[in-house]
Amino acid sequence: MSDTDHKQHGYISLHRLDGFSDAVFAFAVTLLVVSLEVPKSAHELFHLMHGFIAFGVAFTLLMVMWYQHGKFFKRFPITDLWMISLNMALLFVILLYVYPLKFLFVSLFDSMIWKSTGDNFTSASEIQTLMTIYGAGIIAVNFVFFLMHKHAWRLRERFAMSLSQLNELRADMAGNLINMAVAGLSVLIVLVSKDQGTWSGCIYFLLGPAHWASGAWHGRRYRAIKNQEQGKQVKQESQESPLAKQVGRPESIATQPSVPTTPIAPLPAQQTRKPG
């Protein structure tokens, strides 16, 4: 699909949408910065270094969202009103999600690595509330991504998607559903068992095996579809231009009818006179 076709089916240009989205992601990263104040003592520096690991993990999660966002709009440059609304909702959730994300990982690494909880939590109910907010944020982000892919699925004929591209789109939607299911299970554990972050946090380790199984299944489908498409292409090429193949045969030249030729009579010899 050409750029002019995209502009005809969109309300704004794709460059403006990408530029605004990148600016929001950059602003979200600045909110994750550990501290804007330069440490004045070694003790303050060591205390500041405690937050760099949590910052790295939270930064990685934001970059994963940024990569998924960029990959989606590179494959499906849709800028209609519904897609713009979904994109704005996604950016809003990400900005709302930044501070709980930072606080969660700072508290987690303070308790696991540095062995200090400090004043992060005053009661078990606060831990439960934080895990609920974290799970709800994951559900919200992946739900918006799922709706974006679903909208692209409805426009598959406009983009003339092949079977392999449709399988890749299904794989992305399955990944969003897996993330929502695991996060929903974590929230359910908190609400039902009043868990204090142990099992509701460990349940996220299921993401690795679940995504591996989904990737393996869709990978087998992708290879089968690609082999099928290549087989059809080879068969189509073998059936194309039968007339050109027939002209290329050497026997076709030998069987062409010969053009009759008329023999040319020799010219009479001119007699030369002898001088008298």
Name the phi and psi angles at 260, rounded to 5: -65, 140
What is the pLDDT at residue 143? 97
Q: State residue 195's pLDDT score.
A: 62
pLDDT attached to residue 3: 46
Residues 93 and 156 in one domain: no
Per-residue confidence (pLDDT) for residue 252, from 0 to 100 = 47
Structural domain ending residue among the three candidates 104, 120, 136: 120
- Specify the pLDDT at position 212: 94
The tokens for 43 are 């003790």
Please say if the pLDDT value at position 246 is more than 60: no
- Say if residue 155 is in the same domain as residue 72: no
pLDDT at 125 over 90: no
Average pLDDT over residues 119-134: 75
Question: Which has the higher per-residue pLDDT, 205 or 201?
Answer: 205
How many H-runs (helices) and E-runs (strands) does the chain carry? 10, 0
Q: Is residue 54 one of the residues assigned to a domain?
A: yes
Same domain, 142 and 215: yes
Q: Are residues 55 and 129 in the same domain?
A: no
Provide the number of structural domains found in the chain. 2
Q: Are residues 125 and 228 in the same domain?
A: yes
Is 48 part of any domain?
yes
Range ranked top by mean pLDDT from 44-48, 58-62, 177-181, 244-248: 177-181
Residues 77 and 142 grouped into a single domain: no
Q: Kindly report, residue by residue over 56-105, the tens digit of the pLDDT.
A: 889 999 999 999 999 999 988 888 999 999 999 999 999 998 888 888 88
Q: Per this entry, what is the length of the chain?
A: 276
Q: Do 110 and 148 reside in the same domain of the chain?
A: no
pTM of the full structure: 0.74
Domain that holds residue 100: 11-120
Residues 6 or more apart whose Cβ sits within 8 Å of residue 81 = 11
SS3 readout for 223-272: HHHHHHHHHHHHHHHHHCCHHHHHHCCCHHHHCCCCCCCCCCCCCCCCCC
